[in-house]
Structure 1
Amino acid sequence: MRELIKESISDLKKSDGFVYVTAEGKKIDLHEAAAKGIAVTPVNPKDEVIKKLEAAGLFLLDGKFLNDLNELISLISGAGSSKGKSGKRRTFTDSEKNKIVEEWKKVEAAGKQTKAAFAREIGVGYQTFINWLRG
């Protein structure tokens, strides 16, 4: 799993946009393909990385999965809050906030939960969550 994650990071860092593949699925430099007259298809490397990670069971675009994974990491690292303990406040990155807001839009469209219940479920104060929605 660690190697898959490292490989995914490497794939995303080394590409400047699209990668190009031949009909056989082999990656090729666009200039080389043009010089040799080889037809290529542009492929977004993010899509390829997402497919590989999902095949391994890592659904990083699924907000609920991310929340569960973050909670697990928090509990293992000792940062998780439990009754009787006073913990540090959790800080969310802009990316995490955006993913949570996107997940809320799906939940809201399904009409399954109130904003307050959703905020409690993800471990965020109601007013903080409202501020993110206004963001």
Structure 2
Amino acid sequence: MKELIKESINDLKKSDGFVYVTADGSKIDLHEAAAKGIPVTPVNPKDEVIKKLEAAGLHLTDSKFVNDLNELISMISGSGSSKGKSGKRRSFSDSEKSKIVEEWAKVEATGKKTKAAFAREIGVGYQTFINWLRG
């Protein structure tokens, strides 16, 4: 399993976008295929990695599975919060997110706090908060 994960990471790192495959499933450079007149199909490398991982029982596109896996990792590694939190992720409604973004606008105007500090203070991951700001 460890090797599969490493291999999947490497596959995604070395990919610049789509890969192209011939009718027999062989990978081919797009320019080479065009020069030789070979029909190709674009394939997203992420889709191939997802298929390999799912075949091994890792359903990383299933958010419930990912949440359970993250909770398990947190519990095993001891990185879960020691402040009595259950480890469950908190969901925010759209109106709550809007209120938090409005509150950030007020805090940002004072210049006394960073986005990261504000996100920690409200108990939201930094990247999640950034995604809300981009909204």
Q: Alpha-carbon deviations, 1:14-39, whole Å to 9, x = none? A: 11111000111011111111222211
Superposition RMSD in Å: 2.4
Specify whether residues 46 and 133 from structure 1 end up closer, same or farther in structure 2 by C-alpha distance, changes over 3 A only: farther
Larger radius of gyration: 2
Residue identity opposite 1:74 in structure 2: S
Runs of 4+ more than 6 Å apart: none
Residue identity opposite 1:123 in structure 2: R
Question: Displacement, 1:121?
Answer: 8.3
Aligned residue number for residue 31 of structure 1: 31
3-state SS of the aligned residue for 2:7?
helix
Percent pairwise identity = 73
Distance 1:17 1:40 in 2: 15
Q: Alpha-carbon deviations, 1:56-115, whole Å to 9, x = none? A: 11111111101100011001101235xxx536x8xxxxxxxxxxxxxxxxxxxxxxxxxx
Aligned residue pairs total 98
Aligned residue number for residue 64 of structure 2: 64
- Does residue 130 (structure 1) correspond to residue 96 (structure 2)? The answer is no
Distance 2:88 2:35 in 1: 53
TM-score normalised by the chain length of structure 1: 0.63
Question: Contact 2:80–2:87 (CA<8 Å) still a contact in 1?
Answer: no
1:1-135 equivalences in 2 (<5 Å): 1-81=1-81, 85-86=82-83, 122-124=88-90, 129-130=92-93, 134=98, 135=132
Distance 1:47 1:133 in 2: 31
Q: Which runs of 5+ in 2 are unaligned?
A: 99-131
